[in-house]
Amino acid sequence: MDDLDSIKRLKAGDIGGLHALVDRYQVKAARCAYLISQDRALAEDIMQNAFLRVYDRIDQFDLTRPFEPWLMRIVVNMALQAVGGRPLIADVDALALLDPAPDPAALAEAHEQEAAVRAALSALSPEQRAVIVLRYYLGYTESEMARELEKPLGTVRWRLFAAHKRLRGLLAHLKGGRA
Amino acid sequence: MNEEQLVQQLEQIAAKEIPDDMNKWPDIHTQLVQRRTRSRAIRRTLSGIAAALVIVVTGLVGSAFSQGPSSDPGLDHVQELGLLQPLNLTESHDNMTITLTEGYADANRIAVWMTIETDEQPILLPTIMPILSYANGDFLNAGLHPMPLDTTDPHRLKLVVSFDLVDVLPDDQPVDLRLTVNVGGMPMPVIPEGVTPEPGPIPPEYMIDVPALPPFVFTFQLDVQQALILTPQQTAEANGLGVTLDQITLAPSEITLRLCFDLPDGGDWQPKVSVQVDGVAGNLMGYRLTQLPNPAETRRCADYDIALGVTPESRQLEVTVDRLQTSASFTPESMARAQERLAAQGITVEFEVGQGGFNWKIISAPDDMDEPAIGLLVWDALSEQYAGPWSFTVDLPTDD
C-alpha cells in the first residue's frame, strides 16, 4: 500500500490507512521533531500528535501533493510550538568544545564533533534549528522550504543565512571546512 | 565542518535518540480510542443519560465502531434474498477462535460475517483489524466498515465486516480473496463498572496490554453478484450552481453514484447526499473523488457509496443533494456559527479545544434525538455550507 492508497483508505474512514502511514514515517517524523525540540520524550509526543492531526485533517489533504512534506510541515510547526518560549539549555560541557581555544585535533574526533553539533544546535533559536533541519536533515531546497513553511522565499533565505552564519561561527574551529 | 559532515552528524544524532525500530502505533491507536471514549464520557455525564458511565467491552465496541452506521439496509437486503455464500472457515490461535460463517460479493462491495470466540479475557473489538486482499496478495482498494451484530456475550462476538470497493469488481467470474485478521498488540482502556473517568487521558490503572496473536489468515472464493450501470447524466440547477447525476452502479447490496458538481470556490466542497429507492432510505457509507483535485478547477466529480438494497423489481431512485458543504473547521468563528445553527434546531452545545483535540458537550437537546444523531449535526454545523437543493429522479429499467 503506497501513500496514496493509505490516504485514500484513511479518507474513507479506514484506520488501517493511518497505521500504514505511521509505520512508514514515524521514525523520520520523531527524528525531525527531536532535532528541533532537543528533547526525546517531547519529540515522541510531537510525532504522535502530528499523526493525530493527520487523522483529524485528512479530509483537507490535497491528493495532488506528496504526503511526506505535508506531514513534516505539521511536525515542524508542532515542534516550534512546543519549544516556543521555552529556552533550551545547552550542554555546558559540549559548549566548552566550541571555545576556539581547545586543540582542533581533539575536536576533530567524531564524538566531539557530534557533541559540538548537539551544542551548536542547542545554541540556535528554534526557528533557526527548524530551517537547518529542513535543509540538511530533510534535504529540502529553499523553494521547497518556502512552500512548506508558507513563507516568502526571501524570508526562508534570510533565516537560513542567519542560521548558517550562527552555526558556522559555532563550528568554525572543527576540521572539514565550513558548515 | 562541511555540509556533508553536518548532514551526517544530524542523521547520527537523530538516530541515536530515535531508534529505527521505534513503534508508537499502539500509543497513537490508544489515543484515538481514548479521545472517542472521552468524548462519550463527557457527553453522557453532562446530558444525564446515565448516572455512571460503564465502559466495559460492549461500550468499547460501540466506541470503536462509532465511525460506521449501526445498520446496513443493503446487507439486510441481500441476506433476505438468500445471496450469502457459506464459508465455515475456522482458525484458532492461543485461546481465540475466529470463524468466517458467510460471505457476499457484488460489483460494489464484499462482506464477510464472522464470530470471534475466546474463553479467556473479554474480546476488545477495537484491537481486531481485518485486512482484505486478493488471494495472491495483491492489494484490493477498499474502505473497511465493520459492524457488530451481537455484543451481548463479551466472549463471543458476531460481526460483519464490509469493504466498499473503489473499483467495480467484474461479475463474470468468482473472486479469490484473502482475509487477514490481526488481533491485539496494543494497550486498551478498560474502565470498571461504576467508575466515571475525568475528561483527559485515561489513567494507567485502567489500561491493559492486549498481546498480539499470530494473524488469522483465511482464503476463500466468492461469486460476484451482477451489477447494472446506468448513465442518466441529469443536471439540476439551484442557487447558481449545477449538479450532474452522471452514473449509477446498481448492485444488490449497494448503489454507487457518480456526482459532478460546480464549486462555489476553491474549498473542499462535497454534496450532502441522500438516496431513496421506492421510498426506502439508504446509508451513505463513504465517498471518493474520481480524480486528483486541482485548486483551479470549478467543477469536481466524486463517487458515493450508498448501502441500500436493489432488486429487479425496484422502480424508482431518488437522489437529493440538500447542500454543498466543506469539511468541519474549528476556528472561533466557525464554532460560533455552528452554535447558532444548532440552536435553531433546539440543540445547545459547548465546544472545547485543547491538547487532546476537539470536543463538545451537549447542554440540551430535544428528547427524540440520540447522541450519534446530534454528533452528525454538530459536524455538519461546523462546515461551510452552500444551499441547494438539487434533486434527481431516475426510473429504473424493468424486465417488462
Give the tens place of pLDDT for each residue, B274-287. Answer: 999 998 899 888 88
Contacts with A171 from chain B: Cβ below 8 Å: 1, 6
- Check if the beta carbon of residue B375 is closer than 8 Å to that of residue B358: no
Residue for grid cell 442557487: B239
Neighbours of B398 (CB within 10 A): 9
Give the tens place of pLDDT for each residue, A135-148. Answer: 888 888 888 888 77
Contact B28 A56 (CB under 8 A): no
User: For residue B290, what pLDDT is reported?
Assistant: 80
Q: Chain B 324-383, CB below 8 Å of chain A: which residues?
A: 327, 355, 357-358
A52 or B125, which is more confident? A52
Q: Where residue B80 falls among pLDDT bands split at 50, 70, 90? A: confident
Is A111 part of the contact surface with chain B (CB cutoff 8 Å)? no
Pure H helices in chain B: 3-17, 25-47, 57-64, 73-80, 332-343, 371-381
Q: Where residue B259 falls among pLDDT bands split at 50, 70, 90? A: very high
B82 Cα to chain A: minimum distance (Å): 28
Rg (CA), chain B: 24
A179 Cα to chain B: minimum distance (Å): 4
Least confident of A143-152, B202-211, B247-256, B361-370: B202-211
Contacts with B17 from chain A: Cβ below 8 Å: 31, 34, 40, 43
Q: What span, in angstroms and rounded, lies between the C-alpha atoms of B304 and B251? A: 13
Q: Where residue A98 falls among pLDDT bands split at 50, 70, 90? A: very low
Least confident of B92-106, B157-171, B242-256: B157-171
Mean pLDDT calculated for residue range A12-18:
81
ipTM of the modeled complex = 0.78
Chain A, nearest residue to B6 by Cα: A179
Q: Where residue B145 falls among pLDDT bands split at 50, 70, 90? A: confident
3-state secondary structure of A164: helix
Interface A:B, Cβ pairs < 8 A = 137
User: For residue B44, what pLDDT is reported?
Assistant: 34
3-state secondary structure of A163: helix
B137 Cα to chain A: minimum distance (Å): 11
Least confident of B120-134, B273-287, B294-308: B120-134
Top mean pLDDT of B202-206, B297-301, B308-312, B317-321 is at B317-321
User: For residue A179, what pLDDT is reported?
Assistant: 47
DSSP class of B234: E
Contact B2 A19 (CB under 8 A): no
B398 Cα to chain A: minimum distance (Å): 33
* pLDDT at A31 exceeding the cut of 90: yes
3-state secondary structure of B197: coil
Pure H helices in chain A: 3-11, 15-37, 40-57, 67-83, 92-96, 104-107, 110-123, 126-132, 142-149, 153-171
* pLDDT at B364 exceeding the cut of 80: yes
Chain A, nearest residue to B130 by Cα: A16
A171 Cα to chain B: minimum distance (Å): 7
Chain B, nearest residue to A107 by Cα: B1
The shortest CB-CB distance from A179 to any of B1, B13, B68 is to: B1
* pLDDT at A61 exceeding the cut of 80: yes
Q: Which of B2, B6, B304 to mutate to test the interface with A (most CBs of A within 10 A)?
A: B6
Give the tens place of pLDDT for each residue, B368-387. Answer: 887 778 888 888 898 889 99
Q: What span, in angstroms and rounded, lies between the C-alpha atoms of B347 and B377? A: 9
Is A79 part of the contact surface with chain B (CB cutoff 8 Å)? no
The shortest CB-CB distance from A118 to any of B11, B13, B27 is to: B13
Least confident of B132-146, B244-258, B346-360: B346-360
User: For residue A91, what pLDDT is reported?
Assistant: 34
Contact A114 B9 (CB under 8 A): yes
* pLDDT at A97 exceeding the cut of 70: no
Mean pLDDT calculated for residue range B13-22:
88
Is B164 part of the contact surface with chain A (CB cutoff 8 Å)? yes
Is A60 part of the contact surface with chain B (CB cutoff 8 Å)? yes
Least confident of B30-34, B112-116, B298-302: B30-34
Say whether the peptide bond before residue B203 is cis (omega within 30 degrees of 0): no
Mean pLDDT calculated for residue range B209-218:
85
User: For residue B160, what pLDDT is reported?
Assistant: 92
Backbone angles phi, psi at B160, to 5 degrees: -125, 135
Q: Chain B 46-85, CB below 8 Å of chain A: which residues?
A: 67-68
* pLDDT at A123 exceeding the cut of 70: yes
* pLDDT at A107 exceeding the cut of 60: no
Q: In DSSP terms, which residues pair with B261 in a beta bridge?
A: B243, B300
**What burial letters (b/e) apply to B73-103, b meaning 16+ CB within 10 Å?**
bbbebbbeeebbeebebeeeeeebbbbbbbb
* pLDDT at A25 exceeding the cut of 90: yes
Chain B, nearest residue to A59 by Cα: B327
User: For residue B202, what pLDDT is reported?
Assistant: 67
Contacts with B355 from chain A: Cβ below 8 Å: 49
B203 or B226, which is more confident? B226
Comparing C-alpha atoms, which of B136, B98, B133 is closest to residue B115? B98
User: For residue B392, what pLDDT is reported?
Assistant: 96
- Check if the beta carbon of residue A173 is closer than 8 Å to that of residue A119: no
Is A61 part of the contact surface with chain B (CB cutoff 8 Å)? no
Percent of chain B exceeding pLDDT 90 equals 32
Contacts with A16 from chain B: Cβ below 8 Å: 129, 131, 144
Contacts with B295 from chain A: Cβ below 8 Å: 62
B207 or B400, which is more confident? B207
Q: Chain B 314-333, CB below 8 Å of chain A: which residues?
A: 327
B400 Cα to chain A: minimum distance (Å): 38
Contact B268 A60 (CB under 8 A): yes
Give the tens place of pLDDT for each residue, B31-44. Answer: 776 654 434 333 33
Comparing C-alpha atoms, which of B247, B332, B361, B258 is closest to residue B302? B258
Q: Chain B 204-233, CB below 8 Å of chain A: which residues?
A: none
* pLDDT at A73 exceeding the cut of 80: yes
* pLDDT at A116 exceeding the cut of 60: yes
Average pLDDT of chain B to the nearest whole number: 80
Is A51 part of the contact surface with chain B (CB cutoff 8 Å)? yes
Q: What span, in angstroms and rounded, lies between the C-alpha atoms of B90 and B82? A: 22
